[in-house]
Every structure is written in structure tokens, then in C-alpha cells.
């Protein structure tokens, strides 16, 4: 059985042929199953749909709640959320218990207004009829986000807003033309 090598330990490629092969064979392996291994291996993020009506229909048929993530292509925290939070093992392990959808605030202005989205990323947990169970703003690490999802599922009868980390969300201003962000720029779509 060949030893696993963590490629992140190499800052530049080897060019010395046999010496490179020897180093690779003798390099210590990263611990199996570590979070670092999952991220290095390009772990798949949660599978996100892009149509809320589809997600609500799937939730009605399966009896699950919907996790609706509002974001924007220009939002750096949304990118962090997709690349880190949604690839975290803690989140991927609970993901099948929900129906997931990603909604761009610039394309879904009406939905963002309907659900009072004031920053991105903004996560809502919805019942299959579209009513809000819980909401959270920010791009937390996997463990706090999983705790939010578990709390929302357990409190499906109530409605709470969890602000995960104000410093890691982009505040939005709603205008007749769409949304504006004072910290990142503006969007004219909508």
C-alpha cells in the first residue's frame, strides 16, 4: 500500500528525478481523515440548487427543511462561505437532512426583499411552505454553522435570527434598482 502524501507540503515541484521520487516515498503522510486532507483533496461542497420553487417542492415531497443561502458573485464572504463552510466535514455530514438552494441577491431581488435579506451571505432555514424558521448572516466555520442548522431544525416551530459574525458579512442597502453594498461596491442588476 502506497503512503499518502500531502501535496501542500511542497512549495515548488521537484526537478531532480530520482531524488524527487525518494523524497516523495519518504515524506510523512498526513493523518488519514483529517480536515486538511478533505480540503486538499478538493472535498465537494454541499450540492446547491438554484431555484427556490424547486427546493420548496423537494422539501414538501421529502419532509425536510430548506436551507436557502443568499449571496452575490461580488461578495468575498460568499466565496469564503462556499469554499470553506460548505466544504467542512461537519456541514457535509448534516447536509442530506436539508434541501439546499443558493440564490443570487442580484438575480432574486424580490425574494431577497421578501425574506428581509440585509447582508450576504445570508442563510435562511425555511419550512416547505416557504415560511422562515431561522436566519443567519455571515460566513462561519463549519462547527458553528452546523450548530445553527441543528438549532433551526430543533426549533422549527419558532423563528430566530442568528448573527454568526457581523464582521464577515457584506451589509446591503435596498434601492428601487436592486441592492447596494457600501463596503464592496454596487450592483446594478435587479
| b/e per residue 111-137 (b: at least 16 CB within 10 A) | bbeebebbbbbbbbbbbbebebbbbbb
Average pLDDT over residues 85-93: 95
- What does the pLDDT read at residue 152? 92
pTM of the model: 0.64
Per the model's pLDDT, the better-predicted residue between 27 and 86 turns out to be: 86
- What does the pLDDT read at residue 155? 80
Q: Give domain 52-186's CATH architecture.
A: 3-Layer(aba) Sandwich (3.40)
Q: Are 85 and 91 in contact (CB under 8 A)?
A: yes
Amino acid at each position: 500500500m502506497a503512503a499518502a502524501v500531502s501535496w501542500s507540503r511542497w512549495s515548488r515541484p521537484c526537478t531532480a528525478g530520482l531524488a524527487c521520487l525518494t523524497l516523495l516515498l519518504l515524506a510523512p503522510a498526513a493523518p488519514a481523515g483529517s480536515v486538511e486532507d478533505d480540503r486538499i483533496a478538493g472535498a465537494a461542497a454541499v450540492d446547491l440548487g438554484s431555484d427556490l420553487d424547486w427546493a420548496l417542492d423537494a422539501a414538501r415531497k421529502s419532509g425536510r427543511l430548506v436551507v436557502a443561502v443568499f449571496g452575490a458573485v461580488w461578495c468575498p464572504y460568499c466565496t469564503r462561505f462556499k469554499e470553506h463552510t460548505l466544504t467542512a466535514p461537519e456541514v457535509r455530514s448534516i447536509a442530506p437532512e436539508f434541501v439546499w438552494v443558493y440564490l443570487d441577491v442580484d438575480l432574486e431581488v424580490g425574494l431577497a426583499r421578501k425574506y428581509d435579506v440585509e447582508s450576504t451571505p445570508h442563510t435562511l432555514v425555511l419550512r416547505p411552505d416557504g415560511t422562515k424558521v431561522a436566519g443567519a448572516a455571515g460566513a462561519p466555520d463549519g462547527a458553528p454553522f452546523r450548530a445553527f442548522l441543528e438549532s433551526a431544525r430543533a426549533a422549527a416551530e419558532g423563528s430566530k435570527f442568528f448573527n454568526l459574525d457581523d464582521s464577515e458579512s457584506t451589509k446591503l442597502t435596498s434601492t428601487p434598482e436592486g441592492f447596494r453594498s457600501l463596503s464592496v461596491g454596487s450592483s446594478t442588476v435587479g
